A and B are shown apart, each in its own frame.
Chain A
C-alpha cells in the first residue's frame, strides 16, 4: 500500500532550469494538494485539485504549474527555477475536502536552486 509517492526525493537545479516534481497516489482520492515547507514559515499551499481535469491556485502559485489528467497523478512543474523556490515540497491527498477528512502526505521532495 504505497499511499502518496513523490519523486525525486532530492534535486539540485541551476537558476533558469525547469523540472517536474511527480506525485502519485493509489488510494483513488479525488483531492490532491501541493505544499511547500520553508523553515519558520510552515506549509504554504501552491496548487490543489478537486478531481481529474480540475486545478486551482493556492496561496503561492507564482512560478509553478500543475496538471491533473488522471485521478492518480498530480505533477508540479517549475519553469525557470529561482533561488526563492528552494524548499521542501509536499504532495498530499484526501478522499473528501480537507475540512472533512485528513490529508495523507508524501515523504517530500527537497529542491535546491543554485
Chain B
C-alpha cells in the first residue's frame, strides 16, 4: 500500500532562515514523488517532482530511498513561501492514483 507521512502539521520559521518540510513514504515499488503547494486563495499546484531534479522558487527535494524520505528544503525562507505544502506519491508502473500526505502549513515570520 502507498502511504505518505508529513509529521509536522504546522511549521513556523523566520524570514531568511532555512526551511525543511519533512516527508516520509511507504511503497514497495519504484515511487514517483511530488511536492504540491497551495498558496492562500490559489489552486493547488505542482511545486516540484523528484524525477525532474530541478529547483523551483529556491526549493529542492532529494529522494532518499534508504530512508524513504523526500524532504523539501530551501536555504533562505521568504515571506511569499507561506502556504500549505503537500507531499504526494505515485507508483511508476502504470499507476493512476496520487496519494497525498496530511500537509504542512508553513508560515514565514517577518
- A-to-B contact residues, CB < 8 Å: 31, 33, 35, 40-45, 48, 50, 58-59, 90, 92, 97-100, 102-103, 105-108
Contact, CB under 8 Å: B46 / A103:
yes
Contact, CB under 8 Å: B101 / A99:
no
Most chain B CB neighbours (cut-off 10 Å) among A31, A58, A105: A105
Contact, CB under 8 Å: A97 / B43:
no
Is B97 part of the contact surface with A, judged by Cβ < 8 Å? yes
Contact, CB under 8 Å: B86 / A99:
no
Q: How large is the interface on B (under 10, 10 to 19, 20 to 34, 35 or more residues)?
A: 20 to 34
Contact, CB under 8 Å: A43 / B100:
yes
Contact, CB under 8 Å: B92 / A99:
yes
A104 to B6, CA, bound (A): 22
Contact, CB under 8 Å: A31 / B101:
no
Given A99-B32, A102-B34, list of 6 further CB < 8 A pairs? A33-B98, A43-B103, A48-B96, A90-B44, A92-B44, A105-B45
Binary contact track B47-65/A, C-beta < 8 Å → 1, others 0: 0010000000000000000
A106 to B43, CA, bound (A): 7
A107 to B38, CA, bound (A): 11
Q: What residues on B are CB-neighbors of A100 within 8 Å?
A: 32, 92
A41 to B103, CA, bound (A): 7
Binary contact track B18-39/A, C-beta < 8 Å → 1, others 0: 0000000000000010101000
A67 to B89, CA, bound (A): 26
Contact, CB under 8 Å: B9 / A40:
yes
Contact, CB under 8 Å: B43 / A98:
no
Cβ-neighbour of B90 out of A42, A92, A97, A108 (below 8 A): A97
Is B99 part of the contact surface with A, judged by Cβ < 8 Å? yes
Cβ-neighbour of A98 out of B97, B102, B103 (below 8 A): B97
Q: What residues on A are CB-neighbors of B98 within 8 Å?
A: 33, 45, 98-99, 103
A35 to B36, CA, bound (A): 14
Most chain A CB neighbours (cut-off 10 Å) among B34, B90, B98, B100: B98
